[in-house]
Amino acid sequence: MKSIQLLFAACTLMVGMLISTTTQAQVNEGQAIGQATAAASSCITPFQASYDIISSFATINCVTEPCPHAYSVSFYANRKCPGNQICPLAPSIQIAEVFFDADGNIVLINCYNQ
């Protein structure tokens, strides 16, 4: 009976640690996108008049530890289509990418198509 109680206590502790780790790793995507938008504004601004700007949040799964980047926000430009006109299909172009570490600090900003 004692060994069952110890096993149950160990399992409870492991589940608690897993939940704690998972909770700490969660990121507020909206806040990250806002920070990235401000940080990459010089990359985004030249495209805003002619393009719709789309952002995309991604978690980075590292092969090596420690992981230098925990997540990123990418920005894409899609050509604006005025009114009810038919727009030609044009691919989005990536204009910026902002990388964050596990603590939510911006560690790298890449501007493309400048």
- Greater confidence (18 vs 73) lies with 73
What's the whole-model pTM score?
0.70
For the chain, the distance separating the N- and C-terminal CA atoms, rounded to the nearest angstrom, is 69
Residues present in the chain in total: 114
Say what percent of the chain tops pLDDT 90.
46
Digit-coded pLDDT (tens) for 70-103: 999 999 999 887 777 777 777 889 999 999 998 8
Q: How confident is the model at residue 47 (pLDDT cuts 50, 70, 90)?
A: very high
Residue 76 phi, psi (nearest 5): -125, 150
